């Protein structure tokens, strides 16, 4: 009897293992012959679009038989595209990339948000990309201390309402008492063009997006938030006050979740695994890495639940920080 029980138990284990393998294979096989829509929640051009198209290209390569179509869906600081992704059928055929500034929107209770970031099907993120505070050479400002001591405010360009750049700029203005007038509506690389025309004197953005601008001598970095670079000072070392430090820590948490990819809640386990496997293969593909290097895109990928954990941590903030965020948004 014991032998029969053991044999039956062993058979059950093999059956369960076989079923798991079949489910994984079914997930990958599902995409053969299917068209996948990859949403980029911003306009064509710029770093988000370039990064999204690169991810889509190499995910298609590593999902045999699939066809990826990139669809730009700009508006409301990536809100329109993200709402669309979240409302899509969770069949694994619609997902995409959007701005981490939406974490701020969810924290502040933005009524236009129709999603819950903690429930999305997280596929991966490509990079860690620190924030930098940049001014033009023509501004004559050479240090963060000099900026902070200005008697008249200077203009900083940001993207549209709800974007990470607008929210972070407003939080800096409120929490750090910086003499900055925020001017929104500059999308893609329009902020760099505006700085070159002299319309604005500065910007807060991702370092990779502005590195060429800096290398060409058109601007200088006054401070950095996050990252391990030692060529410029960390903003956290130059500020005082608990709320200011907490605000900077919140912004720093965004730098670790750069260029993400996610789908609606409820994608089946086997299909989500197939997408995550394709994402891992795509972002570790030597051709992908070389193209990213050529384009100046940082590569520091994470996949699946590791990304979800970072998002949940970023959303776990103290009431004081959430209040400072709401004040910044109301001012914006």
Residue 236 scores a pLDDT above 80: yes
Tell me, what's the pLDDT at 162?
Answer: 64
The pLDDT tens digits of the residues spanning 88-119 come to 999 999 999 998 878 888 998 989 999 999 99
* pTM across the whole model: 0.76
Average pLDDT over the chain, rounded to an integer: 88
Q: Which residues contact 23 (CB under 8 A, 6 or more apart)?
A: 269, 270
Residue ending a domain, choose from 221, 254, 287? 254
154: number of Cβ within 10 Å: 18
262 shares a domain with 249: no
Domain count, the chain: 2
Domain that holds residue 80: 31-128+257-318
136 shares a domain with 209: yes
Residue ending a domain, choose from 224, 254, 284? 254
Angle between helices 46-61 and 207-215 (to 10 degrees): 120
User: β-strands 121-127, 258-263: how paired?
Assistant: antiparallel
* pLDDT range class, residue 277, cuts 50, 70, 90: very high
d(CA 187, CA 203): 12
CB 102 within 8 A of CB 44: no
* pLDDT range class, residue 3, cuts 50, 70, 90: low
Is 78 a domain residue?
yes
d(CA 136, CA 154): 11
Tell me, what's the pLDDT at 39?
Answer: 98
The pLDDT tens digits of the residues spanning 111-149 come to 999 999 999 999 999 988 888 999 999 999 999 999 999
The pLDDT tens digits of the residues spanning 247-266 come to 888 888 877 788 899 999 99
293 shares a domain with 187: no
């Amino acid at each position: 009897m014991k032998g029969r029980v053991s044999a039956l138990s062993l058979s059950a284990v093999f059956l369960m293992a076989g079923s798991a393998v079949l489910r994984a294979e079914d997930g990958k096989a599902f995409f053969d012959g299917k068209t996948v829509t990859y949403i980029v929640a911003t306009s064509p051009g710029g770093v988000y679009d370039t990064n999204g198209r690169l991810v889509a290209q190499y995910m298609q390569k590593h999902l045999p038989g699939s066809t990826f179509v990139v669809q730009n869906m700009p508006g409301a600081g990536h809100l329109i595209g993200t709402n669309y992704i979240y409302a899509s059928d969770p069949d694994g055929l619609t997902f995409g990339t959007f701005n981490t500034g939406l974490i701020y929107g969810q924290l502040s209770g933005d009524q236009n948000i129709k999603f819950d970031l903690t429930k999305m099907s997280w596929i991966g993120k490509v990079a860690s990309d620190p924030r930098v505070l940049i001014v033009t050479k023509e501004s004559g400002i050479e240090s963060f201390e000099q900026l902070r001591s200005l008697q008249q405010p200077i203009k900083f360009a940001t993207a549209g309402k709800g974007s990470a750049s607008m929210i972070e700029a407003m939080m800096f203005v409120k929490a750090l008492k910086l003499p900055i007038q925020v001017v929104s509506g500059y999308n893609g690389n329009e902020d760099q063009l505006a700085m070159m025309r002299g319309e604005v004197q500065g910007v807060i953005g991702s370092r990779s997006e502005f590195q060429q601008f800096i290398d060409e001598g058109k601007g200088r970095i006054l401070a950095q938030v996050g990252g391990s670079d030692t060529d410029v000072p960390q903003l956290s070392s130059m500020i005082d006050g608990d709320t200011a430090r907490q605000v900077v820590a919140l912004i720093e948490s965004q730098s670790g979740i750069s260029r993400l990819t996610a789908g609606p809640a409820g994608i089946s386990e086997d299909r989500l695994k197939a997408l995550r496997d394709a994402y891992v293969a795509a972002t570790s593909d030597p051709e992908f890495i070389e193209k990213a290097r050529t384009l100046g895109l940082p590569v520091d990928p994470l996949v699946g639940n590791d990304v979800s954990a970072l998002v949940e941590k970023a959303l776990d903030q103290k009431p004081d920080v959430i209040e400072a965020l709401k004040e910044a948004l109301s001012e914006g």
